[in-house]
Chain A
Amino acid sequence: MTAATHDAHHEHHDHGPAKGFMRWVTTTNHKDIGTLYLVTALIMFFVGGAMALIIRLELFEPGMQWVDPLFFNQMTTLHALIMVFGAVMPAFVGLANWMIPMMIGAPDMALPRMNNWSFWILPFAFALLASTLFMEGGAPAAGWTLYPPLVLQGGNHLPFAIFSVHLLGMSSIMGAINIIVTVFNMRAPGMTLMKLPMFVWTWVITAFLLIAVMPVFAGAVTMLLTDKYFGTSFFNAAGGGDPVLYQHLFWFFGHPEVYIMILPSFGVISQIIPTFARKPLFGYSSMVYATASIGLLSFIVWAHHQYTVGMPLAGELYFTYATMLIAVPTGVKVFNWISTMWKGAMTFETPMLFAIAFVVLFTMGGFTGLMMSISPADLQYHDTYFIVAHFHYVLVPGAVFALFAGTYYWLPKWTGHKYDERLGQLHFWLSTISVNVLFFPQHFVGLAGMPRRIPDYAVQFAEFNAMSSAGAFVFGFSQLIFVYVVIKAIKGGEKASSEVWEGAENHGLEWHLPSPPPYHTWTEAPAPELILDKH
């Protein structure tokens, strides 16, 4: 079926969106909600990024120049909470909302009203969190992990921060339920589970992780609240509690959480590389199994964040072995991506550039992760800048680059206009170079002995920190190019065809819809022959 006939078919019952502000408040359309999530995530990326720049400004040279150490701690805490819950997670939910129905041949998400609800909770949650900055005593300053007893020392920001976390958790769980129900119930006839696009698969697994761990986190922070205000002693040794119990609960959530930020990236990359290599994804089934095993393994390795709390030897060794195992399915995924490129006919438009940078730099983050999994070595790495470098390699060139790749890849589909390829590539090169100038030297200062979460450091770390900060500012300001490119593509530009990329219709249902797709798509199931066997 061609795009044109499809369009014509839609014409007579395609009532477009209402106009004006209330359209966005009341909408239940998956594309509108996807847009709302993506715009929110972009704004939060800049808010969290501004906080990172305050941190890097203070760390530019030794000595305290700009902010009080307590405020510095508030910035690290809020930067992380906002990047994790405000930027990366909502951005992937935005992609899911936009793409999953179009990719599986469904007219919308299964629970559209809940979809509206799960988005609109977010602005209120972030307002609560941000309000703590203006309270007496300031925002939480105990790191994004919110470890007691430190977190209990602060002022009365705690209930606000915790209710905000509860709301964010509710929103995530509702989003996850929606995705699972949609994928299980609304697939087009003929689309069996083993024909789902990889992006959909990775999101299904992510959604199960979310449902399993968000309640644990909600429980743990609620226990903090009762410890502070209702005289319980869950985490207070003087009352018979145990501060380390909190860490176990937190990381039982926190470790899967880091996969929640990375599995959808795997999905995005698995859509992009085949398109630009002009070859089907290599090893589709092993990709699915590898993703599922990473998801399962993520539940049994949490205490590798706690090698220094004084676990028994057997515990240290168990968590070491279990953590090392994750390298196997992760390796399988990397090998599969490379085999997809192998003997392809590659072109290097911006999405492909970001996808390749993702594979290279995420693999580096994977290597340092493997090093850290070895508990005796981690007795040195733990809580140093080596860790900061590691997790930023997986989160920035990992999660964030995958988001850029996905945005450039689908932007012409969403807007109907090609983005400015030259500016896209400029954004790519500036980001990739600066992100390495920013995070690579942190491996060195970490190994040489610089602890993390410190507002000032010994003078032998000065040069590398100056480099890091310079990289941070270039990286931060390069992101304005991205905003400009996106706005420009929304406003107009060269028309995009329905397949957008050469041969893209061999890589997913979404490329059979016109660009931009009509407000309601797949009101009739796509023809069975469009459903691909292997992706």
Chain B
Amino acid sequence: MKKTKQLLAGLALMIWGEAQADYAVNMPVGVTETSRDIHDLHMLILWICVAIGVIVYGLMVYSIVHHRKSKGAVPAKFHENTRLEIVWTLIPFLILFAMAVPATQVMIKAYDTGAADMTIKVTGYQWKWRYTYLDEGIDFFSTLDTKSNEARQLGSRIDPTTVDNYLLNVDDPLVIPVGKKIRILLTAADVLHAWWVPEFGWKKDAIPGFITDGWIKVEKPGTYRGQCAELCGRDHGFMPIVVIAKTDEEYKQWVAEHKSKQESEQAESGKTFTLDELVAKGEQVYSTNCAACHLPNGEGIPGTFPAIKGSPVALGPIAEHVSVVVKGKKSMPAFEDQLSAADLAAVITYQRNAFGNKKGDLVQPSEIQAQK
């Protein structure tokens, strides 16, 4: 029923050709100068193409209607006209030139990352983004929010339309001040990713071992959403980007809050936990960080991602288990920078005691700290 409704709505839209509020049919105008320049360029070339199309298709339709045998048309004999052929080679050249000039101007501006007010480094991980504020000492990961994550599991039976910003929401968004030129440095920890917020007007690849860059100067406070745009593995479709642009004051306030949050997380690493506390905390950490590959039920994907359930590592010596999680192994990333000592201790303990593993042992944050 829902499907047929969707279909009918789509067809009705085609017939009326009318863009309604929630049917986005074109590139957003955006909130940066670059994005508006690019939008204008896009509309310019679109209209040039439409104009050429009207001429080309018009001529075709005319001859299909009038030069048909059933109307008694007698075929002409001509098969060459050098002057005409030269004309329709030269005119396209001129049109292309007219498009190349504004394109060059926009590109030069979009590539000028100099004189930035601040710099943020963005690192792509499978499948989350890490934001490092080079000037503020803030450093955190940003992952798909829990609600979308639950709804998107195969056969979850949760209706995505009941989830706010389904697949376009994160637990910890990037926060930036408005009106400042911010240079974005991009890199990746494992495979290629691409950072893309349509309303900023550009995307750029994040490449392991290399740094690419771009810049934004957001003019309006607000929340802007995007997604990873380079195929980066199983959860490529579940790697959203959320940027909140705040006024300078609100931004400063956020910086202070985020710093104190970061400190309290660090303090946790000195604490001693009980087995139950660790398992409960670990379940959370597992579902955001590990379930994508090893699956929520710990069964893994044979041949690609090993199972945790009954795994020799999770049932073997604890030191080996800690080393795999902290330092990584083959295509398993090293989590030492991604998770706090407390989270690492929790998730390792969880893996040893969940999915019927029942080892009964645990590891404390302080022991992880020693290995890091």
Considering the complex, give the chain B residue whose CB is closest to the CB of A457: B167
Residues in chain B near residue A68, CB distance under 8 A: 154, 234, 301
B370 within 8 A of A: no
* CB-based contact A69/B227 at 8 Å: no
- Near A by CB (< 8 A), chain B positions 222-239 give 226-238
Q: Which residue from A317, A327, A457 sits with its C-beta under 8 Å from B96? A: A327
In the complex the two chains form, is A150's CB within 8 Å of B231's CB? Answer: yes
In the bound assembly, the distance between CA atoms of A448 and B42 in angstroms comes to 13
| Contact partners of B191 in chain A: CB under 8 A | 149-150, 153
A303 within 8 Å of B (CB atoms)? no
Contact A344 B76 (CB under 8 A): yes
In the assembled complex, the Cα of A298 lies from the Cα of B31 at a distance in Å of 36
Q: Does B22 contact A (CB under 8 A)?
A: yes
- As a 0/1 sequence over residues 311 to 354 of chain A, the CB contacts with chain B under 8 angstroms (1 = contact) are 00100110011001101100110111011111111111000000
* Cα of A238 to Cα of B188 in the assembled complex, Å: 12
Chain A residues, Cβ within 8 Å of B159: 63
- A189: B residues at CB distance < 8 A: none
Contact B45 A371 (CB under 8 A): yes
Residues of B within 8 A of A327 (CB): 92, 96
Please determine whether B207 and A153 come into contact, CB atoms closer than 8 angstroms. no
A518 within 8 A of B: no
Decide: B60 and A147 in contact? CB cutoff 8 A.
no
Roughly how many angstroms separate A434 CA and B370 CA in the complex, as a whole number? 63
A437 to B: closest C-beta gap in Å: 8
Chain B 190-224 interface 0/1 with A at a Cβ cutoff of 8 Å (1 = within)? 11101010100111110111101100000000000
Question: Is residue A282 within 8 Å, beta carbon to beta carbon, of the partner chain?
Answer: yes
Does A320 contact B103, Cβ atoms closer than 8 Å? Answer: yes
B134 at the binding interface (Cβ < 8 Å): no
Q: Write the nearest CB–CB distance from A93 to chain B, whole angstroms.
A: 30
Within 8 Å of chain B (Cβ to Cβ): is A22?
A: no
Interface residues of A in 363-416 (CB under 8 A from B): 363-364, 367, 370-371, 374-377, 379-380, 382-384
Bound: A325/B92 CA distance, A: 9
Which residues of chain A are near B208, meaning CB under 8 Å? 149, 237-238, 243
Measured CA separation A244–B28 after assembly (Å):
30
The docked-state distance in angstroms from the alpha carbon of A342 to that of B80 is 12
A189-201 toward B: CB 8 Å interface, digit per residue (1/0)?
0000000000000
A215 adjacent to chain B (CB < 8 Å): no
Q: Does B68 contact A (CB under 8 A)?
A: yes
Whether B304 and A154, one on each chain, are in contact in the complex, defined by CB atoms closer than 8 angstroms, is yes
Are B67 and A346 in touch, CB under 8 angstroms?
A: yes
Chain A residues with Cβ under 8 A from B256's Cβ? none
**Contact indicator A143/B153 (Cβ below 8 Å):** no
Q: Are A155 and B304 in contact (CB under 8 A)?
A: yes
User: Which listed residue (A135, A279, A332, A364) contacts B85, Cβ 8 A?
Assistant: A332
Q: Mark A494-535, 1 if CB is under 8 A from B, else 0.
A: 000000000000000000000000000000000000000010
Q: Which B37-91 residues have a C-beta within 8 angstroms of A?
A: 37-38, 41-42, 45-46, 49, 52-53, 56-57, 59-60, 63-64, 67-70, 73-81, 84-85, 88-89
Task: Give the nearest-CB partner of B158 in chain A.
Answer: A63
Q: Given the interface contacts A347-B70, A382-B203, does A449 sit within 8 Å of B24 by beta carbon? A: yes
A8 at the interface (CB under 8 A from B): no
Q: Is the CB of A346 within 8 A of B303?
A: no
Indicate whether A138 reaches chain B with its CB closer than 8 angstroms. yes
Q: Are A313 and B107 in contact (CB under 8 A)?
A: yes
A463 CB–B CB distance under 8 Å: yes
In the assembled complex, A356 has its CB within 8 A of some CB on chain B: yes
Q: Does A280 contact B (CB under 8 A)?
A: yes
CA distance A340 to B76 in the complex (A): 10
Q: How far is the CB of B266 from chain A (nearest CB, A)?
A: 29
Q: Among the listed A313, A338, A466, which residue makes an inter-chain contact with B7, where contact means beta carbons less than 8 Å apart?
A: A466
**Do A380 and B13 have beta carbons less than 8 Å apart?**
no
* A73 on the B face (CB < 8 A): yes
Asked whether any CB of chain B lies closer than 8 Å to the CB of A451, the reply is yes
- Bound complex: CA A335 to CA B88 (Å): 8
Structural contact, B302 and A137, CB atoms closer than 8 A: yes
CA distance A335 to B80 in the complex (A): 12
Q: Which of B27, B37, B74, B234 contacts A447 (CB 8 A)?
A: B27
Binary contact track B103-133/A, C-beta < 8 Å → 1, others 0: 1101110110000000000000000000000
The chain A residue sitting closest to B97, CB to CB, is A324
Q: Are B56 and A338 in contact (CB under 8 A)?
A: yes
Using an 8 Å CB-CB cutoff, how does the interface string of A277-307 with B read, 1 for contact, 0 for none?
1111111111000000000000000000000
The 7 closest A-B pairs by CB, nearest first: A237-B209, A137-B303, A136-B303, A310-B212, A454-B237, A448-B24, A155-B303
Task: List 13 additional A-B contacts (Cβ < 8 Å) besides A154-B304, A463-B9.
Answer: A68-B154, A69-B237, A73-B234, A244-B207, A280-B77, A308-B203, A321-B100, A341-B60, A344-B67, A345-B74, A377-B42, A458-B166, A460-B23
Q: List 20 A-B contacts (CB under 8 A).
A: A62-B161, A68-B301, A137-B303, A308-B204, A308-B229, A309-B207, A320-B107, A324-B99, A328-B89, A334-B56, A335-B88, A343-B76, A345-B75, A356-B60, A376-B107, A379-B110, A383-B194, A459-B160, A463-B10, A464-B23
Chain B interfacial positions (CB closer than 8 Å to A): 2-3, 6-7, 9-11, 13-14, 22-28, 37-38, 41-42, 45-46, 49, 52-53, 56-57, 59-60, 63-64, 67-70, 73-81, 84-85, 88-89, 92-93, 96, 99-100, 103-104, 106-108, 110-111, 151-156, 158-161, 165-168, 186, 190-192, 194, 196, 198, 201-205, 207-210, 212-213, 226-238, 301-304, 331
